[in-house]
Amino acid sequence: MRKIRSRLLLIGVLVIGAIWALIPTNSTIRVRDATTGRMKDSTVRRVPINLGLDLQGGIHLALEVDQSKGQVPDPAEAIRRAERVVRTRIDEFGVTEPVVQVVGGNRLIVELAGEKDPSRAKSIIQRTAFLEFRITDMKNLFRDAIPQMDGALRAAGVSPTTGGGGAATPSAVSQLFGGDTSKAKPAPGKKGKTPAAAPPKPDTSFLNQPGALSALLFQGSLPGEFLVPEEQVPVAESLLARPEVQRLMPRGFELRWGTEVESRGARPYRALYAVEEKPIITGEELEKASARRDQLTNQSVVDFVLSRRGGRIFERETARHVNDYMAIILDGRVQGQPPVIKSEIGQRGQIELGNKSLQEANDLALVLRAGALPAPLTIVEERTIGPTLGRDSINDGIRAGAVGVILVVLIMVIYYRTSGILAVAALGFYALFTLAGLAGFGFTLTLPGLAGLALSVGIATDANVLIFERIREELQHGKLVRTAVDEGFKHAMSAIVDSNVSTALTAFILYLVGTGPVQGFAITLIIGIIASMITAVFVVRTFYMIWLERRPDMVTLSI
């Protein structure tokens, strides 16, 4: 009796756990706004089982090569290469069995099943992932050019912005020079030189007044770093893009914005870096990248390994630049604050992402691993899309499946009578556990997955058939009911275990080697096999124990 109680307790815990996993939760889906016709994110409450594109539909994205920022010589070739890269990236993103398809030679269709986080998916698809390491402006050449640029801007009729905080802080650059604790050269000497070196001075009064740029750019804590008040970023961007400013840019240097907004005092600032034009190394030499959380500093870190050749170049360059700052630039954006090169670095290195989440670090590692897009892609169309199979086929399939299940139940109950009812009840538990397994691990259920489930239902019934037939054999040999049940379970076990383990091993290999649909099949099959082992063997055995406990004098078994 105590044995039964602990078994029932375990089953109870499993059932509660399964129901817990199936409680409807909030999830974000992408829907079309009925009034505006635009796409928007919407939150719905539903059972957390993800259905694939074939069963549920999802979002449809059409992507084209973005030519706005420069001509791409062969867009058709670029799209074909992008197809491969996007497919790898999405496959690594999770088992969602996406559609990645070239259309009409110049467009790429990406379809994702009811994607939980559409914006994250989109950013992963679109990221070009061009990684480069560049040394910052160690000699402060850009800073020294700012007054000249201000002069040029003044000549062009641009005055310092009024309103906003930038202009309210006069001569920000010179003020911050004093506080510069980095290894920047002493500011005053430089400062004296600059006006003298400046070309014709149309108006000397600008020396006392802050220029348009120097009012916006605050020297940061390391050479080549400037801070711009967040709300002034667009202004600074447009000023810096003007031809008269570009002309005065120190040779061999470029400006790159940082990714992060940091607060100095009460105001948010964005970092701007003057970096060397030529990278010391690019992501092409990158071979591996993986994300982790640093145990000591609790920072998210991406470890990377360079190719042999890349390692040699990197070692030579970093040796040349010891004590310099190196900006890590991804897709033109400086990631975090440039670290100082403490000593020469070889094939292995790491990118510290500070307090960013591990997921972001994972996404970065993923994009670095999966390779760079040959050209930037832009989303030209976004729509919700219905299931690939079509609603008509799904309804037919559900009806046919229901008929199939009814047939199985009828056969089991007619053939095995009360024992058959126990087996059917166990199948109910099986369905609950399997669905909970799919929900708990966040797997996507597709039609090949349903095939896997159907197979595991067959395996679950088969396990009961094996046990029941064995009990019948034992009864035929003249054994008592109780002994026959015990022996039946005992002898059927080796067949059940061996057949299930080898099928599960096969499924596991399919998962490791296969892609999308093959993996979906394998995962549902593995979950189904585990659930069927629990229900067909453990649950049915418990049912029998209770039955025999209640009717100890039973002479013939209803089987």
The packing angle between helices 481-513 and 447-476, to 10°, is 160
Asked if 494 touches another protein (CB under 8 A), the answer is: yes
Q: Which among 8-16, 52-60, 208-216, 255-263 is the span making contact with another protein, rule CB under 8 A?
A: 52-60
Question: CA 422, CA 440: separation in Å to the nearest integer?
Answer: 27
Of residues 294-313, those binding another protein (CB under 8 A): none
Among residues 400, 439, 294, the alpha carbon closest in space to that of 353 is found at 294
Q: Which among 101-109, 187-195, 215-223, 261-269 is the span making contact with another protein, rule CB under 8 A?
A: 101-109
Asked if 388 touches another protein (CB under 8 A), the answer is: yes
**Closest distance of CB 13 from another protein, Å:** 29
Q: Which among 168-176, 218-226, 280-288, 466-474 is the span making contact with another protein, rule CB under 8 A?
A: 466-474
H or E segment and range at residue 473: helix 447-476
Asked if 99 touches another protein (CB under 8 A), the answer is: yes
Alpha carbon 200 to its chain centroid, in Å, reads: 55
Question: CA 341, CA 222: separation in Å to the nearest integer?
Answer: 13
Asked if 428 touches another protein (CB under 8 A), the answer is: no
* Beta carbon nearer to another protein, 223 or 516: 516
Q: Which among 15-23, 198-206, 311-319, 493-501 is the span making contact with another protein, rule CB under 8 A?
A: 493-501
Question: CA 489, CA 494: separation in Å to the nearest integer?
Answer: 10
* Beta carbon nearer to another protein, 138 or 537: 537
Asked if 256 touches another protein (CB under 8 A), the answer is: no
Asked if 117 touches another protein (CB under 8 A), the answer is: no
| Single-letter residue type at 66 | D
* Beta carbon nearer to another protein, 227 or 457: 457
**Closest distance of CB 229 from another protein, Å:** 42
**Closest distance of CB 507 from another protein, Å:** 7
- Strand segments, DSSP code E, in 294-357 are 300-306, 326-330, 333-334, 348-352
Of residues 502-521, those binding another protein (CB under 8 A): 502-503, 505-510, 512-518, 521
Question: CA 139, CA 146: separation in Å to the nearest integer?
Answer: 14
What are 110's strand-pairing partners? 61, 100
**Closest distance of CB 65 from another protein, Å:** 15
* Beta carbon nearer to another protein, 459 or 540: 459
What the block records as the tokens of 54 is: 């074939």
Q: Which of 71, 414, 553, 555 binds another protein (CB under 8 A)?
A: 414
**Closest distance of CB 473 from another protein, Å:** 8
Q: Which residues contact 308 (CB under 8 A, 6 or more apart)?
A: 347
Q: Which of 193, 267, 293, 391 binds another protein (CB under 8 A)?
A: 391
Write down the residue that tokens 């003249």 correspond to. 478
The beta-carbon contacts of 541-548 under 8 Å, at least 24 apart in sequence, are: 541/7, 541/489, 542/4, 542/7, 542/8, 542/11, 543/422, 543/425, 543/426, 544/422, 544/485, 544/489, 545/3, 545/4, 545/7, 546/4, 547/418, 547/422, 548/481, 548/482, 548/485
Asked if 559 touches another protein (CB under 8 A), the answer is: yes
Task: With beta carbons less than 8 A apart as the criterion, state whether 89 and 124 touch.
Answer: yes
Asked if 486 touches another protein (CB under 8 A), the answer is: no
**3-state DSSP helix/strand/coil percent for the chain, to nearest 5?**
50, 20, 30
* Beta carbon nearer to another protein, 266 or 392: 392
Q: Which of 72, 233, 249, 451 binds another protein (CB under 8 A)?
A: 451
**Closest distance of CB 41 from another protein, Å:** 16
Distance (Å) of CA 308 to CA 39, 230, 235, 327, 365: 46, 41, 44, 22, 19
Asked if 462 touches another protein (CB under 8 A), the answer is: yes
- Residue count at the site for another protein (CB under 8 A)? 84
Question: CA 525, CA 429: separation in Å to the nearest integer?
Answer: 16
**Closest distance of CB 75 from another protein, Å:** 15
Q: Which of 141, 405, 421, 546 binds another protein (CB under 8 A)?
A: 405
Asked if 461 touches another protein (CB under 8 A), the answer is: yes
Asked if 47 touches another protein (CB under 8 A), the answer is: no
Q: Which among 328-336, 338-346, 468-476, 533-541 is the span making contact with another protein, rule CB under 8 A?
A: 468-476
* Beta carbon nearer to another protein, 33 or 237: 33
**Closest distance of CB 550 from another protein, Å:** 21
* Beta carbon nearer to another protein, 227 or 389: 389
**Closest distance of CB 393 from another protein, Å:** 4
First to last CA, the chain: 23
Q: What angle do CA 443, 114, 302 make, to 5 degrees?
A: 65
Asked if 455 touches another protein (CB under 8 A), the answer is: yes
Asked if 448 touches another protein (CB under 8 A), the answer is: yes
Task: With beta carbons less than 8 A apart as the criterion, state whether 30 and 59 touch.
Answer: yes
Residues 53-92, one symbol each (x = binds another protein by CB under 8 A, - = not), give -x--x--x----------------------xx--x-----
Asked if 415 touches another protein (CB under 8 A), the answer is: yes
Asked if 498 touches another protein (CB under 8 A), the answer is: yes
Q: Name the DSSP class of 340.
A: B
Asked if 384 touches another protein (CB under 8 A), the answer is: yes
Among residues 519, 121, 127, the alpha carbon closest in space to that of 359 is found at 121
Asked if 400 touches another protein (CB under 8 A), the answer is: yes
Asked if 373 touches another protein (CB under 8 A), the answer is: no
Asked if 459 touches another protein (CB under 8 A), the answer is: yes
Among residues 300, 222, 229, 313, the alpha carbon closest in space to that of 267 is found at 229
Write down the residue that tokens 């957390």 correspond to. 48
What are 218's strand-pairing partners? 227
Among residues 148, 137, 343, 361, the alpha carbon closest in space to that of 253 is found at 137
